[in-house]
Amino acid sequence: MPSLLMLNMVLRLVSWRLSGVRIGRGSWIKSPIRVGVGSWMGWGCTVRGDGELVIGKYCAIGENVRAITSNHDMDRLTMNYLVQDRLVGERFHSAKSGVVIGNDVWIGDSAILLPGITIGDGAVIGAGAVVSRSVDPYTVAAGNPARPIRRRFEPDLEARIRQLTWWDWDAAKMRANAHLFSIHCSSHPEAMSVSEIRTDRDC
């Protein structure tokens, strides 16, 4: 990643693309950020706060998503950063900080992610959701505040898929197993098994 200053200058004009990562034009990144290969953020996203945003591999993040990585400490006499800067020389934040997004996560447009949460691998966050609590892997969550709506898969099938950890495969292994990415998982759960994985030598 370039410096935040350079990244934000680029994002004022164009989307930023490098090594399989894309951050959409008009986004504003004020927090430390780590993004895994293959992940895309849509236009107009905002990341701010003193915590870190960690995004796993192959995530699809919609437009105008906001990740807030730290918040004001409500237990102080004032929560105003200007007053804290002038009188104390530091800013006080709540204990919760950082946002962690797992691998293969889909986050809908205009969702808001609040400090201290973790969104598990394979989870789906509905458009406009306000996520104030962590979301389990392979769970669909939506609303304000966001609540679990359903699991994406039956427990046995979810366990098989989680064991694959396909996002850690190299390009050759992905190509060798391209057939898995077109299968309707619930209709063919037997295909989602470590024993069914091909290596590039099998092709």
Handedness of CA 23, 24, 26, 27 (dihedral sign): negative
Q: Would you say 114 and 135 are in contact if contact means Cβ atoms under 8 Å apart?
A: no
For residue 161, the surrounding DSSP H or E stretch is helix 155-164
Token pair of 168, please? 């850690």
Nearest alpha carbon to residue 125 among 175, 200, 184, 59:
59
> What is the distance between the alpha carbons of residues 183 and 140, in angstroms, rounded to a whole number?
20
Q: Would you say 203 and 176 are in contact if contact means Cβ atoms under 8 Å apart?
A: yes
Distance from the first to the final alpha carbon of the chain:
36
Q: Which residues are catalytic?
A: 72
Q: Would you say 147 and 141 are in contact if contact means Cβ atoms under 8 Å apart?
A: yes
Q: What are phi and psi of 126, to 5 degrees?
A: -65, 155
